Chains A and B, each alone.
Chain A
Amino acid sequence: MTWLDNYMLVPMIALFITGGALALFKPSLRLIIVLAVQYIAVSWLTFMNLSVTGVFAKLITGFLVCVILYLAMRQIGEGPFPGDRQQISANISFRILALLLVSVASVSVARSNLFAQFDISLEANVGASFLIASSLLNLGLGIDHLRSGIGLLTLISGGELIYSFIEPSLAMIALLAMVHLGVVLVFSYIISVRARDGMSGNHIL
């Protein structure tokens, strides 16, 4: 499937769109589809460097993450995360502005020689930098746990994308897949504990 290498701009653009959507919109069940697309784009970008097995391992991990997240989020539906009452002033126009700023910053970081020692393609470098930057935006703006959780998953995807060029070994793919699944399991566990706590009316935050 080397023909995919000729279309590396596609996943990079997809990362900008999905990363942007995850940072701009309120986390919901529908946004999990966006997260799934993000995982596909990340896997696509690693095609240049990883074996087909490795790429499929990443893809399957991504889908498992989305399924686990979907099952967890179904407990709270479209409603707010129990206990997350605090909100900070970050309306949509502010988010768009912040997203534009981090996009510019991430492109310039990717074009610098930060990882000059490693043979990382420009598309992957730009995509990963944007993912990391948008995840920081999510983590920074998100007082609510859902946004922070998705931000954390995006951060790991970004780091993993760069790292797959640095060390394309199967052991590392397996280890980072464990990290991905571990994070989503922890996140689902927190959702279920908080949802139960919210249902019993025992809010503490």
Chain B
Amino acid sequence: MNASLIIFFFTAIYALLCLLLRHQRMASALVAATGAGSIAAFVLFVPLDEAFLFGEISIKFTREWIILGRMFSMSESVRPLIGFLYLAGAFLFPPAWVVRANRYFPSVGLLILATVAASLMVDPFVYAAAFIELAAMGAVFVLVTKQNPKSTGAFRMLILYTFAMFSILFTGSLLEVAGITSATPVLAQRVTFMLGFGFAILMTVPPFHLWMPRSADESDPYILVFILIILQSAGLFFLLRFLNSYIWLREQALIFDGIRIAGIMTTILAVVFAASQRDIKKLMVYALLIDLGVMLISIGSATQEGFRIALSLCAVRVIALGVLVLGLSFLSNPELRADKMRGVGYKLPFAAIAFLVGLLSIAGTPLTAGFPGRWSLLTVVLNTDRVAAGTVIFSMIGLGVLVIRWAAILFGRGDGEESIAMSRVPRDFLIGGIALLLLLGLFPQFAFPWVEKVASGLANLFL
């Protein structure tokens, strides 16, 4: 049996089940989470290319699946990445039930995961750009819904991802056909530019982030965060695989300088924009961009420690953003403006605390899940790049101040602060999320095994 085919087949089965159960939100969300979790377990733990006994039956899963002359391969380098995506799905699907996300979200979400997984498995891997474009198309189906019919942000995303797809496809072809090395500087420069353009779009580096605030305005925030986590992770993994595959890319200081500068600019701009926000959903988008900027700074450090930190930040952000948006989903109903949010924290205390703790984690405040990664990054860049280190500190202080500001708004005295009754399940989800973030702040080593697995797969980057 073929491992790639099994992933696609079971994802399709679970997606179909979720579709059939769409009117029972709890069942649909739990099936999606169970499905994603079981596929993640399969990807991460089942031995490939060797027979093993399952009960009394001998089973052998092969890595490679060839279709139309192209191969989907579950190599050791992509297994932890695919496992991560499905685990992220398993973590993010259950709360979709309590926030009453669109009925089709679990099934479409699973299909998006499968498409992104295909982008990681396909060989030659430049084809990944087309699969990420297909994933972005899937995202439109859950960003634009009957409840949220405005489509400007989603359509902008689709246009930008189309540009990214062609940019990366052309770059990949130039790399394959023209044989670019550091000895062909003109071509190398052109490829670097095109590659930078494509990745900047995939990872929503400003100014290609413009669809995000618009989508925050127009779409369900929970779905938007799911889409952003998956697509940005896909972009990050794609970038790391590119760097791992082409030696001349790794040898160019310009590439890492560019990534670092993009990270610094993204972080600074996002902090400034976040400070000027009166809309809590847009604040969430800029917090996400700050996190992205910090990740880019760690990749731009061009050190193994930096790559490891970027991967662990990528893992932690799933939980931090998940908790943040879970709280936000309750708070953002029905009024979003800061002047209308005064005292909302008294009405929905657990939601407000979840939102603030999520934001604190993204800020990298001590005792939250985001702190160890940022602290490690500071130790890496402090001696090599003071500007980058200053930017990380600026983001921590800037976002920390914003947390205080929003806490003052949410828990400021307004009119009629009687608390809104919240049923037990959403409250348990919120408390569980807050506890998890604090627990990960105390025991940050949870992501280490995964990071090491990725590192062993990308052997050229992690020599």
Mark A residues whose CB is within 8 Å of B.
Answer: 83, 117-118, 139, 145, 148-149, 152, 155-156, 159, 162-163, 166-167, 169-172, 174-176, 178-179, 182-183, 185-186, 189-190, 193-194, 196-197, 202, 204-205
Contact = CB atoms under 8 A, between A and B. Distances in A.
Contacts of A196: 146, 149
B162 A152 contact: yes
Given A139-B159, A152-B158, A83 B140 contact: no
Contacts of B420: none
Contact of B151 (A166, A176, A194): A194
A179 B174 contact: no
A193 B158 contact: no
B458 to A, nearest CB: 25
Interface stretch (B78-86, B91-99, B126-134, B205-213): B126-134
Contacts of B459: none
B363 interface: no
A159 B166 contact: yes
Given A166-B177, A204-B149, A190 B155 contact: yes
Contact of A175 (B130, B146, B154, B177): B130
Nearest to B67: A171
Contacts of A167: 173
B140 A186 contact: yes
A145 B141 CA distance: 16
Given A83-B149, A117-B174, A139-B159, 16 more contacts: A117-B178, A118-B173, A145-B155, A155-B159, A162-B170, A163-B169, A166-B170, A174-B68, A175-B130, A176-B130, A179-B133, A179-B137, A190-B140, A190-B154, A205-B150, A205-B152
A148 B130 contact: no
A167 B159 CA distance: 23
Interface string B94-137: 00000000000000000000000000000000010010011001
Nearest to A193: B149
Contacts of B141: 186, 189
A178 to B, nearest CB: 6
Nearest to B127: A175
Nearest to A172: B127
B69 interface: yes
Among all A-B residue pairs, the 10 with the closest Cβ atoms:
A197-B149, A171-B68, A159-B166, A182-B137, A171-B70, A117-B178, A166-B173, A186-B140, A190-B151, A175-B130
Interface string B137-164: 1001100111001111011001100110
Contacts of A139: 159
A172 B126 CA distance: 11
Nearest to B166: A159
Nearest to A163: B169
Contacts of B140: 186, 189-190
A149 B149 CA distance: 16
Nearest to A139: B159
A183 B137 contact: yes
A182 B173 contact: no
Contacts of A190: 140, 144, 151, 154-155
A6 to B, nearest CB: 28
Contact of B159 (A152, A163, A170, A194): A152
A174 B166 CA distance: 15
A4 to B, nearest CB: 25
- Where chain A touches its partner, the secondary structure class is helix
A95 B48 CA distance: 59
Nearest to A82: B149
Contact of B137 (A159, A175, A186): A186
A170 B127 CA distance: 13
A163 B176 CA distance: 13
B152 A186 contact: no
Given A117-B174, A183-B137, A186-B140, A148 B159 contact: yes
Interface in B164-223: 165-166, 169-170, 173-174, 177-178, 187, 218
A176 B169 CA distance: 11
B165 A179 contact: yes
Nearest to B187: A117
Nearest to A148: B155
Contacts of A166: 170, 173, 177
B137 A83 contact: no
8 contacts: A83-B150, A152-B162, A166-B173, A174-B68, A183-B137, A190-B155, A194-B151, A205-B152
- Of A155, A190, A194, most buried by chain B (CB within 10 Å of CB) is A190
Given A171-B69, A202-B149, A189 B144 contact: yes
Given A171-B68, A186-B140, A204 B150 contact: yes
A65 to B, nearest CB: 14
Contacts of A163: 166, 169-170, 173
A171 B69 CA distance: 7
B150 to A, nearest CB: 5
Nearest to A149: B155
B177 A178 contact: no
A159 B137 CA distance: 18
Given A152-B158, A152-B159, A179-B165, A145 B151 contact: yes
Contacts of A152: 158-159, 162
B68 A170 contact: yes
A95 to B, nearest CB: 20
Given A171-B69, A186-B141, A155 B162 contact: yes
Contacts of B173: 118, 163, 166-167
A170 B169 CA distance: 15
Contacts of B146: 193, 196-197
Given A175-B127, A182-B134, A186-B141, A170 B69 contact: yes
